Structure 1
Amino acid sequence: MIKAVIFDLDRTLLDRDASVECFIKDQYDRFEESLKSVSRVAFTSRFIELDQRGYLPKNQVYKQLVHELDLGKGMVVELDQDYQDSFKHHCIPFKGLKEVLLQLIENNYQLGLITNGKGRFQMDNIQALGIESFFRTILISELEGVKKPDPTIFERAMERINQPLEACVYVGDHLEKDVQAAENIGMKAVWKKDKKEEESLARYSIFHLTELPSLLQKMNTKEERSCYSK
Protein backbone atom coordinates (compact mmCIF):
# COMPACT_ATOMS: atom_id res chain seq x y z
CA MET A 1 0.00 0.00 0.00
CA ILE A 2 1.41 3.38 -1.04
CA LYS A 3 1.49 5.78 1.90
CA ALA A 4 4.11 8.30 0.80
CA VAL A 5 4.73 10.23 -2.43
CA ILE A 6 8.18 11.71 -3.03
CA PHE A 7 8.55 14.25 -5.83
CA ASP A 8 11.25 15.67 -8.05
CA LEU A 9 11.07 19.47 -8.50
CA ASP A 10 12.14 20.74 -11.94
CA ARG A 11 9.79 19.75 -14.78
CA THR A 12 7.73 17.73 -12.28
CA LEU A 13 6.24 20.38 -10.00
CA LEU A 14 7.97 23.46 -11.43
CA ASP A 15 7.37 24.14 -15.13
CA ARG A 16 11.03 24.91 -15.65
CA ASP A 17 10.87 25.48 -19.40
CA ALA A 18 8.20 28.16 -19.02
CA SER A 19 10.00 29.64 -16.00
CA VAL A 20 13.32 29.88 -17.85
CA GLU A 21 11.68 31.56 -20.82
CA CYS A 22 9.99 34.07 -18.53
CA PHE A 23 13.21 34.76 -16.63
CA ILE A 24 15.55 35.17 -19.59
CA LYS A 25 13.22 37.64 -21.34
CA ASP A 26 13.09 39.71 -18.16
CA GLN A 27 16.87 39.52 -17.74
CA TYR A 28 17.36 40.83 -21.25
CA ASP A 29 15.03 43.77 -20.55
CA ARG A 30 16.88 44.66 -17.34
CA PHE A 31 20.35 44.35 -18.89
CA GLU A 32 19.53 45.65 -22.36
CA GLU A 33 21.78 48.71 -22.07
CA SER A 34 24.77 46.50 -21.20
CA LEU A 35 24.12 44.02 -24.00
CA LYS A 36 25.28 46.39 -26.74
CA SER A 37 23.37 45.76 -29.95
CA VAL A 38 22.48 42.13 -29.21
CA SER A 39 18.85 41.42 -30.07
CA ARG A 40 16.36 39.96 -27.60
CA VAL A 41 15.89 36.89 -29.83
CA ALA A 42 19.64 36.23 -30.11
CA PHE A 43 20.18 36.54 -26.35
CA THR A 44 17.18 34.57 -25.14
CA SER A 45 17.18 31.78 -27.72
CA ARG A 46 20.91 31.11 -27.39
CA PHE A 47 20.66 31.01 -23.58
CA ILE A 48 17.89 28.42 -23.78
CA GLU A 49 19.94 26.30 -26.21
CA LEU A 50 23.10 26.45 -24.07
CA ASP A 51 21.15 25.76 -20.87
CA GLN A 52 20.41 22.22 -22.09
CA ARG A 53 17.24 22.11 -20.01
CA GLY A 54 19.17 22.93 -16.85
CA TYR A 55 21.89 20.30 -17.11
CA LEU A 56 24.76 22.70 -17.90
CA PRO A 57 25.99 24.85 -14.97
CA LYS A 58 24.90 28.46 -15.40
CA ASN A 59 28.40 29.90 -15.11
CA GLN A 60 29.34 27.78 -18.14
CA VAL A 61 26.19 28.83 -19.97
CA TYR A 62 26.91 32.51 -19.43
CA LYS A 63 30.61 32.12 -20.18
CA GLN A 64 29.79 30.68 -23.60
CA LEU A 65 26.96 33.14 -24.21
CA VAL A 66 29.10 36.16 -23.35
CA HIS A 67 31.91 34.86 -25.55
CA GLU A 68 29.65 34.24 -28.55
CA LEU A 69 27.92 37.62 -28.26
CA ASP A 70 31.18 39.48 -27.47
CA LEU A 71 29.80 41.12 -24.35
CA GLY A 72 32.97 41.33 -22.26
CA LYS A 73 34.14 38.88 -19.61
CA GLY A 74 32.82 40.97 -16.73
CA MET A 75 29.27 40.20 -17.78
CA VAL A 76 29.63 36.49 -16.95
CA VAL A 77 29.65 36.99 -13.18
CA GLU A 78 27.01 39.71 -13.31
CA LEU A 79 24.53 37.71 -15.37
CA ASP A 80 25.15 34.49 -13.45
CA GLN A 81 24.61 36.21 -10.10
CA ASP A 82 21.44 37.77 -11.41
CA TYR A 83 20.20 34.31 -12.39
CA GLN A 84 20.87 33.00 -8.87
CA ASP A 85 19.13 35.99 -7.30
CA SER A 86 16.23 36.59 -9.67
CA PHE A 87 15.06 33.25 -11.07
CA LYS A 88 12.80 32.72 -8.05
CA HIS A 89 10.64 35.64 -9.19
CA HIS A 90 9.75 33.78 -12.38
CA CYS A 91 8.80 30.33 -11.08
CA ILE A 92 5.76 28.92 -12.86
CA PRO A 93 4.02 25.84 -11.41
CA PHE A 94 2.40 23.12 -13.46
CA LYS A 95 -1.36 23.45 -13.59
CA GLY A 96 -3.12 22.19 -10.49
CA LEU A 97 0.06 21.89 -8.39
CA LYS A 98 -1.27 23.04 -5.02
CA GLU A 99 -4.64 21.40 -5.55
CA VAL A 100 -2.98 18.04 -6.24
CA LEU A 101 -0.69 18.29 -3.21
CA LEU A 102 -3.61 19.22 -0.99
CA GLN A 103 -5.67 16.33 -2.34
CA LEU A 104 -2.85 13.88 -1.64
CA ILE A 105 -2.53 15.16 1.92
CA GLU A 106 -6.30 14.90 2.40
CA ASN A 107 -6.00 11.31 1.19
CA ASN A 108 -3.47 10.71 3.99
CA TYR A 109 -0.35 10.49 1.84
CA GLN A 110 2.86 11.82 3.34
CA LEU A 111 4.84 13.97 0.92
CA GLY A 112 8.56 14.42 0.34
CA LEU A 113 10.77 16.10 -2.24
CA ILE A 114 14.21 15.28 -3.66
CA THR A 115 15.95 17.64 -6.08
CA ASN A 116 19.42 18.04 -7.48
CA GLY A 117 20.85 21.55 -7.39
CA LYS A 118 22.15 24.31 -5.15
CA GLY A 119 20.61 24.52 -1.70
CA ARG A 120 19.58 28.16 -1.45
CA PHE A 121 18.59 28.41 -5.12
CA GLN A 122 16.29 25.38 -5.05
CA MET A 123 14.78 26.32 -1.69
CA ASP A 124 14.06 29.81 -3.03
CA ASN A 125 12.17 28.23 -5.92
CA ILE A 126 10.22 25.87 -3.65
CA GLN A 127 9.22 28.81 -1.46
CA ALA A 128 8.34 30.89 -4.52
CA LEU A 129 5.88 28.18 -5.55
CA GLY A 130 4.37 28.33 -2.05
CA ILE A 131 4.65 24.58 -1.46
CA GLU A 132 7.33 24.19 1.23
CA SER A 133 4.81 23.45 3.99
CA PHE A 134 3.29 20.53 2.08
CA PHE A 135 6.38 18.35 2.47
CA ARG A 136 7.44 16.37 5.48
CA THR A 137 11.00 16.34 4.18
CA ILE A 138 12.94 18.18 1.45
CA LEU A 139 16.33 16.94 0.27
CA ILE A 140 18.52 19.14 -1.96
CA SER A 141 21.65 17.51 -3.36
CA GLU A 142 24.11 20.30 -2.47
CA LEU A 143 23.00 20.23 1.17
CA GLU A 144 22.95 16.43 1.31
CA GLY A 145 26.36 15.95 -0.32
CA VAL A 146 24.85 13.35 -2.64
CA LYS A 147 22.64 13.60 -5.70
CA LYS A 148 20.32 11.53 -7.86
CA PRO A 149 20.66 8.87 -9.18
CA ASP A 150 22.70 7.80 -6.11
CA PRO A 151 20.41 5.51 -4.06
CA THR A 152 21.58 7.16 -0.82
CA ILE A 153 19.45 10.26 -1.34
CA PHE A 154 16.33 8.15 -1.94
CA GLU A 155 17.05 6.07 1.16
CA ARG A 156 17.45 9.23 3.26
CA ALA A 157 14.10 10.52 2.07
CA MET A 158 12.34 7.30 3.06
CA GLU A 159 14.08 7.35 6.44
CA ARG A 160 13.04 10.93 7.15
CA ILE A 161 9.49 10.38 5.98
CA ASN A 162 9.43 7.26 8.17
CA GLN A 163 7.98 4.91 5.57
CA PRO A 164 9.35 1.61 4.25
CA LEU A 165 10.43 1.12 0.65
CA GLU A 166 7.26 -0.69 -0.41
CA ALA A 167 5.08 2.17 0.87
CA CYS A 168 6.78 4.89 -1.21
CA VAL A 169 6.44 6.04 -4.80
CA TYR A 170 8.73 8.52 -6.56
CA VAL A 171 7.45 10.95 -9.21
CA GLY A 172 9.92 12.57 -11.61
CA ASP A 173 10.55 13.61 -15.20
CA HIS A 174 13.98 12.06 -15.83
CA LEU A 175 13.92 8.41 -16.85
CA GLU A 176 17.41 7.63 -15.57
CA LYS A 177 17.89 9.93 -12.57
CA ASP A 178 14.32 9.67 -11.31
CA VAL A 179 12.41 6.64 -12.57
CA GLN A 180 15.19 4.09 -13.04
CA ALA A 181 17.07 5.27 -9.96
CA ALA A 182 13.99 4.76 -7.78
CA GLU A 183 13.14 1.42 -9.36
CA ASN A 184 16.73 0.21 -8.95
CA ILE A 185 16.30 0.22 -5.18
CA GLY A 186 12.87 -1.38 -5.40
CA MET A 187 10.73 1.74 -5.09
CA LYS A 188 7.71 2.27 -7.33
CA ALA A 189 8.09 5.19 -9.74
CA VAL A 190 5.86 7.38 -11.88
CA TRP A 191 7.28 9.12 -14.94
CA LYS A 192 6.10 12.74 -15.49
CA LYS A 193 6.21 12.89 -19.29
CA ASP A 194 7.01 16.04 -21.28
CA LYS A 195 4.57 15.28 -24.07
CA LYS A 196 1.18 13.62 -23.86
CA GLU A 197 1.78 11.58 -27.00
CA GLU A 198 5.25 10.51 -25.87
CA GLU A 199 5.72 6.76 -25.76
CA SER A 200 5.51 5.50 -22.21
CA LEU A 201 8.90 4.06 -21.31
CA ALA A 202 7.97 3.39 -17.69
CA ARG A 203 5.45 1.10 -16.02
CA TYR A 204 3.52 4.09 -14.68
CA SER A 205 3.37 7.52 -16.31
CA ILE A 206 1.37 10.76 -16.31
CA PHE A 207 1.38 13.91 -18.41
CA HIS A 208 -0.66 16.22 -16.17
CA LEU A 209 -0.06 16.33 -12.41
CA THR A 210 -3.82 16.17 -12.01
CA GLU A 211 -3.68 12.55 -13.20
CA LEU A 212 -1.61 11.49 -10.19
CA PRO A 213 -4.25 11.03 -7.45
CA SER A 214 -6.34 8.64 -9.56
CA LEU A 215 -3.22 6.75 -10.68
CA LEU A 216 -2.15 6.24 -7.07
CA GLN A 217 -5.62 4.97 -6.24
CA LYS A 218 -5.41 2.47 -9.10
CA MET A 219 -1.93 1.38 -8.01
CA ASN A 220 -3.16 0.75 -4.47
CA THR A 221 -6.28 -1.05 -5.68
CA LYS A 222 -4.18 -3.27 -7.93
CA GLU A 223 -1.86 -4.06 -5.03
CA GLU A 224 -4.79 -4.91 -2.75
CA ARG A 225 -6.25 -7.25 -5.35
CA SER A 226 -2.86 -8.88 -5.80
CA CYS A 227 -2.58 -9.53 -2.06
CA TYR A 228 -6.15 -10.80 -1.87
CA SER A 229 -5.60 -13.31 -4.68
CA LYS A 230 -2.66 -14.97 -2.94
Structure 2
Amino acid sequence: MQYRHLFFDLDHTLWDFDTNSKEALKDLYDINQLHQKGIEQFDDFFERYSFHNHLLWERYAKGQIKQDELRWKRMYLAMLDFKFADEKLSRSMGVDFLDILPNKNKLFPYTHEILGYLQEKGYILHLITNGFEKVQQHKLAKSNIANYFTEMITSEVSNSLKPNKEIFDYALNKTGANTSNSIMIGDNLDADIQGGINAGLDTVFVNHINAAPHIQPTYTIFHLKELEQIL
Protein backbone atom coordinates (compact mmCIF):
# COMPACT_ATOMS: atom_id res chain seq x y z
CA MET A 1 0.00 0.00 0.00
CA GLN A 2 1.27 3.45 -0.87
CA TYR A 3 -0.48 4.87 2.21
CA ARG A 4 -0.63 3.46 5.72
CA HIS A 5 -2.09 6.29 7.81
CA LEU A 6 -5.31 8.03 6.72
CA PHE A 7 -6.06 11.37 8.38
CA PHE A 8 -9.71 12.41 8.13
CA ASP A 9 -11.38 15.70 8.84
CA LEU A 10 -14.63 15.19 10.79
CA ASP A 11 -17.11 18.05 10.32
CA HIS A 12 -18.52 18.41 6.79
CA THR A 13 -16.46 15.39 5.67
CA LEU A 14 -17.94 12.49 7.65
CA TRP A 15 -20.24 14.14 10.22
CA ASP A 16 -22.99 16.18 8.54
CA PHE A 17 -22.35 19.41 10.39
CA ASP A 18 -24.89 21.53 8.51
CA THR A 19 -27.82 19.17 9.12
CA ASN A 20 -26.85 18.50 12.73
CA SER A 21 -26.23 22.14 13.62
CA LYS A 22 -29.51 23.20 12.05
CA GLU A 23 -31.37 20.61 14.13
CA ALA A 24 -29.58 21.73 17.31
CA LEU A 25 -30.26 25.40 16.62
CA LYS A 26 -33.93 24.63 15.96
CA ASP A 27 -34.10 23.00 19.40
CA LEU A 28 -32.64 26.17 20.94
CA TYR A 29 -35.00 28.39 18.94
CA ASP A 30 -37.99 26.46 20.31
CA ILE A 31 -36.72 26.11 23.88
CA ASN A 32 -36.03 29.84 24.17
CA GLN A 33 -39.21 30.82 22.30
CA LEU A 34 -37.36 33.17 19.98
CA HIS A 35 -40.50 33.49 17.85
CA GLN A 36 -41.89 35.58 20.71
CA LYS A 37 -38.82 37.83 20.72
CA GLY A 38 -39.23 39.24 17.22
CA ILE A 39 -37.53 36.37 15.36
CA GLU A 40 -40.61 35.02 13.65
CA GLN A 41 -39.11 32.46 11.28
CA PHE A 42 -36.48 29.90 12.27
CA ASP A 43 -35.01 29.68 8.75
CA ASP A 44 -34.31 33.43 8.83
CA PHE A 45 -32.55 33.06 12.18
CA PHE A 46 -30.55 30.10 10.92
CA GLU A 47 -29.40 32.08 7.89
CA ARG A 48 -28.10 34.94 10.05
CA TYR A 49 -26.51 32.53 12.52
CA SER A 50 -24.72 30.73 9.69
CA PHE A 51 -23.46 34.03 8.28
CA HIS A 52 -21.98 35.21 11.58
CA ASN A 53 -20.70 31.76 12.54
CA HIS A 54 -18.68 31.57 9.32
CA LEU A 55 -17.10 34.99 9.88
CA LEU A 56 -16.32 34.31 13.53
CA TRP A 57 -14.71 30.95 12.70
CA GLU A 58 -12.46 32.76 10.23
CA ARG A 59 -11.42 35.16 12.99
CA TYR A 60 -10.91 32.28 15.43
CA ALA A 61 -8.73 30.42 12.90
CA LYS A 62 -6.56 33.54 12.61
CA GLY A 63 -6.21 33.78 16.38
CA GLN A 64 -8.19 37.02 16.58
CA ILE A 65 -10.82 35.76 19.03
CA LYS A 66 -11.02 33.06 21.71
CA GLN A 67 -13.31 30.04 21.85
CA ASP A 68 -15.71 31.57 24.37
CA GLU A 69 -16.24 34.65 22.25
CA LEU A 70 -16.95 32.53 19.18
CA ARG A 71 -19.49 30.43 21.06
CA TRP A 72 -21.72 33.23 22.34
CA LYS A 73 -21.20 35.99 19.80
CA ARG A 74 -22.56 33.93 16.92
CA MET A 75 -25.83 33.79 18.86
CA TYR A 76 -25.72 37.43 19.91
CA LEU A 77 -24.99 38.81 16.45
CA ALA A 78 -27.65 36.64 14.83
CA MET A 79 -30.28 37.93 17.26
CA LEU A 80 -29.01 41.47 16.90
CA ASP A 81 -29.90 41.32 13.20
CA PHE A 82 -33.52 41.10 14.37
CA LYS A 83 -33.01 44.09 16.69
CA PHE A 84 -32.97 41.87 19.76
CA ALA A 85 -29.92 42.14 22.03
CA ASP A 86 -29.51 39.90 25.09
CA GLU A 87 -25.95 38.97 26.03
CA LYS A 88 -27.03 36.79 28.96
CA LEU A 89 -29.33 34.74 26.75
CA SER A 90 -26.67 34.57 24.03
CA ARG A 91 -24.12 33.16 26.45
CA SER A 92 -26.64 30.65 27.76
CA MET A 93 -27.54 29.57 24.23
CA GLY A 94 -23.86 29.26 23.35
CA VAL A 95 -23.39 26.76 26.19
CA ASP A 96 -26.62 24.89 25.47
CA PHE A 97 -25.82 24.62 21.76
CA LEU A 98 -22.62 22.72 22.50
CA ASP A 99 -24.57 20.44 24.84
CA ILE A 100 -27.21 19.66 22.21
CA LEU A 101 -25.11 19.56 19.04
CA PRO A 102 -22.89 16.54 19.81
CA ASN A 103 -26.00 14.43 20.45
CA LYS A 104 -27.00 14.78 16.82
CA ASN A 105 -25.74 11.90 14.73
CA LYS A 106 -26.36 12.53 11.04
CA LEU A 107 -23.46 11.29 8.89
CA PHE A 108 -22.84 11.62 5.17
CA PRO A 109 -23.98 8.64 3.10
CA TYR A 110 -21.65 5.63 3.14
CA THR A 111 -19.62 6.84 6.15
CA HIS A 112 -19.84 3.61 8.14
CA GLU A 113 -19.32 1.49 5.05
CA ILE A 114 -16.19 3.29 3.87
CA LEU A 115 -14.59 3.45 7.32
CA GLY A 116 -15.24 -0.27 7.78
CA TYR A 117 -13.85 -1.01 4.33
CA LEU A 118 -10.66 0.96 4.98
CA GLN A 119 -10.20 -0.57 8.42
CA GLU A 120 -10.58 -4.09 7.02
CA LYS A 121 -7.95 -3.33 4.36
CA GLY A 122 -5.47 -2.58 7.14
CA TYR A 123 -5.29 1.20 7.00
CA ILE A 124 -4.80 3.06 10.29
CA LEU A 125 -7.42 5.80 10.56
CA HIS A 126 -7.07 9.08 12.49
CA LEU A 127 -8.84 12.42 12.74
CA ILE A 128 -7.43 15.94 12.50
CA THR A 129 -10.06 18.49 13.47
CA ASN A 130 -10.29 22.16 14.39
CA GLY A 131 -13.31 21.34 16.58
CA PHE A 132 -13.36 21.40 20.37
CA GLU A 133 -11.99 18.28 22.10
CA LYS A 134 -14.96 17.20 24.25
CA VAL A 135 -17.51 18.15 21.60
CA GLN A 136 -15.75 16.08 18.93
CA GLN A 137 -15.39 13.09 21.23
CA HIS A 138 -19.10 13.21 21.96
CA LYS A 139 -19.97 13.43 18.26
CA LEU A 140 -17.93 10.31 17.56
CA ALA A 141 -19.62 8.39 20.35
CA LYS A 142 -23.17 9.43 19.45
CA SER A 143 -22.69 8.71 15.75
CA ASN A 144 -21.04 5.37 16.58
CA ILE A 145 -17.82 5.89 14.62
CA ALA A 146 -15.27 6.31 17.43
CA ASN A 147 -14.11 2.69 17.10
CA TYR A 148 -12.76 3.29 13.60
CA PHE A 149 -10.12 5.80 14.68
CA THR A 150 -6.83 5.24 16.48
CA GLU A 151 -6.07 8.90 17.30
CA MET A 152 -8.00 12.17 17.22
CA ILE A 153 -5.89 15.31 17.02
CA THR A 154 -7.76 18.52 17.83
CA SER A 155 -6.69 22.14 17.69
CA GLU A 156 -7.01 22.31 21.49
CA VAL A 157 -4.61 19.45 22.14
CA SER A 158 -2.10 20.41 19.46
CA ASN A 159 -2.33 24.15 20.20
CA SER A 160 -2.59 24.79 16.48
CA LEU A 161 -5.26 24.98 13.77
CA LYS A 162 -5.50 23.66 10.23
CA PRO A 163 -4.06 24.77 7.83
CA ASN A 164 -1.02 25.48 10.01
CA LYS A 165 1.77 22.98 9.50
CA GLU A 166 2.18 22.56 13.26
CA ILE A 167 -1.07 20.61 13.78
CA PHE A 168 -0.07 18.15 11.05
CA ASP A 169 3.43 17.79 12.46
CA TYR A 170 1.86 17.11 15.86
CA ALA A 171 -0.41 14.48 14.29
CA LEU A 172 2.45 12.73 12.49
CA ASN A 173 4.54 12.65 15.63
CA LYS A 174 1.67 11.39 17.81
CA THR A 175 0.74 8.59 15.42
CA GLY A 176 4.22 7.58 14.34
CA ALA A 177 3.30 8.31 10.73
CA ASN A 178 5.35 10.15 8.13
CA THR A 179 4.56 12.22 5.08
CA SER A 180 5.36 9.45 2.61
CA ASN A 181 2.86 6.94 4.04
CA SER A 182 0.06 9.36 5.00
CA ILE A 183 -2.79 11.16 3.26
CA MET A 184 -5.18 13.90 4.40
CA ILE A 185 -8.89 13.55 3.54
CA GLY A 186 -11.23 16.52 3.99
CA ASP A 187 -13.85 18.84 2.54
CA ASN A 188 -12.23 22.21 3.20
CA LEU A 189 -9.81 23.37 0.54
CA ASP A 190 -8.18 26.04 2.69
CA ALA A 191 -7.93 24.08 5.95
CA ASP A 192 -7.65 20.43 4.95
CA ILE A 193 -6.16 20.48 1.47
CA GLN A 194 -3.85 23.49 1.75
CA GLY A 195 -2.97 22.34 5.26
CA GLY A 196 -2.05 18.89 4.01
CA ILE A 197 0.01 20.41 1.22
CA ASN A 198 1.76 22.69 3.73
CA ALA A 199 2.74 19.60 5.71
CA GLY A 200 3.95 17.68 2.64
CA LEU A 201 1.01 15.24 2.53
CA ASP A 202 -0.98 13.91 -0.38
CA THR A 203 -4.61 14.99 -0.14
CA VAL A 204 -8.15 13.92 -1.03
CA PHE A 205 -10.70 16.70 -1.52
CA VAL A 206 -14.15 15.40 -0.53
CA ASN A 207 -16.23 17.69 -2.73
CA HIS A 208 -19.72 17.03 -1.37
CA ILE A 209 -21.05 20.34 -2.74
CA ASN A 210 -19.41 20.24 -6.17
CA ALA A 211 -17.33 23.35 -5.45
CA ALA A 212 -14.86 24.78 -7.96
CA PRO A 213 -11.41 24.03 -6.47
CA HIS A 214 -9.01 26.96 -6.15
CA ILE A 215 -6.34 24.64 -4.71
CA GLN A 216 -5.20 21.48 -6.49
CA PRO A 217 -5.52 18.32 -4.34
CA THR A 218 -3.90 15.01 -5.20
CA TYR A 219 -7.35 13.46 -5.65
CA THR A 220 -10.93 14.76 -5.77
CA ILE A 221 -14.03 12.70 -4.94
CA PHE A 222 -17.70 13.63 -4.84
CA HIS A 223 -18.96 10.75 -2.69
CA LEU A 224 -17.22 8.84 0.10
CA LYS A 225 -17.61 5.56 -1.78
CA GLU A 226 -15.15 6.86 -4.37
CA LEU A 227 -12.36 6.40 -1.81
CA GLU A 228 -12.51 2.73 -2.76
CA GLN A 229 -11.06 3.70 -6.15
CA ILE A 230 -8.06 5.41 -4.50
CA LEU A 231 -7.31 3.32 -1.41
TM-score range, shorter chain: 0.7 to 0.9
1:51 corresponds to 2:65: no
- Tell me how far apart the structure 2 counterparts of residues 110 and 59 of structure 1 sit (CA, whole Å): 37
| Contact kept? 1:17, 1:53, Cα under 8 Å | no
> What value does the CA root-mean-square deviation take over the aligned residues?
2.1
State the Cα deviation string for residues 110-148 of structure 1 (Å, max 9, x = none). 001010122212222222221112111111111221221
* 2:96 aligned residue (78, 82, 98): 82
* 1:137 aligned residue (140, 144, 151): 151
State the Cα deviation string for residues 59-90 of structure 1 (Å, max 9, x = none). 22112123233153321111111111111122
- Tell me how far apart the structure 2 counterparts of residues 35 and 77 of structure 1 sit (CA, whole Å): 19
1:211 corresponds to 2:226: yes
Larger gyration radius, structure 1 or structure 2 = 1
- Tell me how far apart the structure 1 counterparts of residues 104 and 177 of structure 2 sit (CA, whole Å): 34
Give unmatched runs, 5+ long, in structure 2: 59-69
Aligned to 1:94: 108
Cα distance change on mapping 1:29 and 1:114 into 2, 3 Å: same
Instruction: Report percent identity of matched pairs.
Output: 25
- Tell me how far apart the structure 1 counterparts of residues 23 and 14 of structure 2 sit (CA, whole Å): 17
- The TM-score with structure 1 as length reference comes to 0.85
More helix by share: 1
Aligned to 1:219: none
User: Cα distance, 1:33 vs. partner?
Assistant: 6.2
User: Cα distance, 1:177 vs. partner?
Assistant: 1.6
1:95 is paired with a residue whose SS is: coil
User: Cα distance, 1:166 vs. partner?
Assistant: 0.6
Length, aligned pairs only: 216
- Tell me how far apart the structure 2 counterparts of residues 28 and 22 of structure 1 sit (CA, whole Å): 10
Alignment of 1:178-193 (within 5 A): 178-193=192-207
Q: Any runs of at least 4 consecutive aligned residues in structure 1 with deviations exceeding 3 A, and if so which?
A: 196-201
Aligned to 2:22: 21
Alignment of 1:1-230 (within 5 A): 1-32=2-33, 35-39=36-40, 40-52=42-54, 55=57, 57-69=70-82, 70-196=84-210, 198=212, 201-216=216-231
- The TM-score with structure 2 as length reference comes to 0.84
- Tell me how far apart the structure 1 counterparts of residues 136 and 211 of structure 2 sit (CA, whole Å): 30
- Tell me how far apart the structure 2 counterparts of residues 53 and 204 of structure 1 sit (CA, whole Å): 28
